[in-house]
Amino acid sequence: MTPRTAAIPRHDVSIAWRRQFLRDVIDGLKRPQKQIPCKYFYDEIGSVLFDQICELDEYYLTRSELEILRVHAREMAELIGDDCVLIEFGSGSGLKTRLLLAELRSPRVYLPIDVAREHLEKSVRELANRFPSLHLIPVHADFTAFLRLPDTGDPKARRVVYFPGSTIGNFDPVAAVVLLRKIADLVGPGGGLLIGFDLDKDESIVWPAYNDRSGVTAAFNLNLLARINRELAATFDLAGFTHRAEYLRTLERVEIHLVSDRAQVVRVAGRTISFTAGESIHTEDSYKYSLDSIGRLTAQAGWTLVRRWLDSR
Ligand code: SAH
Ligand code: AVI
């Protein structure tokens, strides 16, 4: 049988992506605390590494959220209602998507939005084979920049955004409110949001999730420099940088850095960037929440909490 996917057109909003990547990297590396936005982790290799992270014993987030979905997806689907337009933010491998789609009644159309093009295409191919009657519109875009969705031909259908994985935690609280407001605008009055937040927990659980024994998270972090070498003609020596992840409880976040092991100079697209020994590039934050902080954040963005589900732990 011919895979249905050959006929799935992708909606592409990634105009001038490379130029934006270069600008963000140069701007970020010129700051006193060097930084690179974490959305650039997800090239083809980074997406595979992220999937490996999700399978690590130490990375409790995926397991916990899958448990929540297995137990409660039916109830979630009932609250979403029949005939919805489902829009997923950062759909990744689509594993969590399948559990929700299996319970949804007659969804009109499913629009996964992701910056990782190859990953998006692969997950959409798998979904198309699993849900042959589902209307799929993959959207290759940066959801922080992206505002207009393709016309789905269902102006009256309820729009619901699905945003699992605690990807919201990769945004600082101000940016998170901006993004949640943007989602409210996207779904319109009466629309919905099903979102995953990682709760704050003991350091003995959080720290290993970002410092796994097999070094996959370190490889994921370092791949950012490899990607910059590949795509922006840079000269990062990966052996000269070390992954560092710390749980800064007072700031309610895990901070991830790449630390320069020695004084060194790197060229990026013709520009020179200097590092002192021990200087770092801040590559990601992963915020952890309390039930109160989730309530405050979502209320600030104009959302009313209808229901929440926790895992057994
Ligand atoms: N939802 C999945 C994947 C989470 S990983 C899960 O819960 O396991 C984060 C996903 O969001 C990745 O697939 C990444 O490519 C995507 N992503 C990160 N920043 C993004 C952005 N600004 N715009 C679109 N997709 C983004
Ligand atoms: C996608 N995001 C929620 C992950 C997290 O846990 O913050 C990304 C990640 N970074 C390192 N490990 C996983």
pLDDT in tens, 253-290: 999 999 999 999 999 999 999 999 999 999 999 999 99
Minimal-distance CA residue to ligand 1 atom 9: 90
Query: Which H, E and C letters describe the chain, residue by residue?
Result: CCCHHHHCCCEECCCCHHHHHHHHHHHHHCCCCEECCHHHHCCHHHHHHHHHHHCCCCCHHHHHHHHHHHHHHHHHHHHHCCCCEEEEECCCCCHHHHHHHCCCCCCCEEEEEECCHHHHHHHHHHHHHHCCCCCECCEECCCCCCCCCCCCCCCCCCEEEEECCCHHHHCCHHHHHHHHHHHHHHHCCCCEEEECCCECCCHHHHHHHCCCCCCHHHHHHHHHHHHHHHHHCECCCHHHEEEEEEEEHHHCEEEEEEEECCCEEEEECCEEEEECCCCEEEEEEEECECHHHHHHHHHHCCCCCCCCCCCCC
* Cα 167 to ligand 2 centroid, rounded to whole Å: 7
- Tell me what pLDDT residue 9 has: 65
What mean pLDDT, rounded, does the chain reach?
Answer: 94
- Tell me what pLDDT residue 3 has: 45
pLDDT exceeds 90 at position 200: yes
> What pLDDT digit, counting tens, does each position of 92-134 carry?
999 999 999 999 999 999 999 999 999 999 999 999 999 999 9
- The response to whether residue 115 sits with its C-beta less than 6 Å from ligand 1 reads yes
Ligand 2 pocket mutation pick from 206, 284, 287, 288 by most atoms within 8 angstroms of CB: 284
Ligand 2 pocket mutation pick from 114, 170, 255 by most atoms within 8 angstroms of CB: 170
- The response to whether residue 283 sits with its C-beta less than 6 Å from ligand 2 reads no
Q: What is the pTM of this model?
A: 0.95
Ligand 1 pocket mutation pick from 114, 147, 197, 220 by most atoms within 8 angstroms of CB: 114
- Tell me what pLDDT residue 154 has: 86
- Tell me what pLDDT residue 4 has: 53
- Tell me what pLDDT residue 192 has: 98
Minimal-distance CA residue to ligand 2 atom 1: 167
Average pLDDT, stretch 234-255? 98
- Tell me what pLDDT residue 198 has: 98
- Tell me what pLDDT residue 16 has: 73
- The response to whether residue 286 sits with its C-beta less than 6 Å from ligand 2 reads yes
- The response to whether residue 35 sits with its C-beta less than 6 Å from ligand 2 reads no
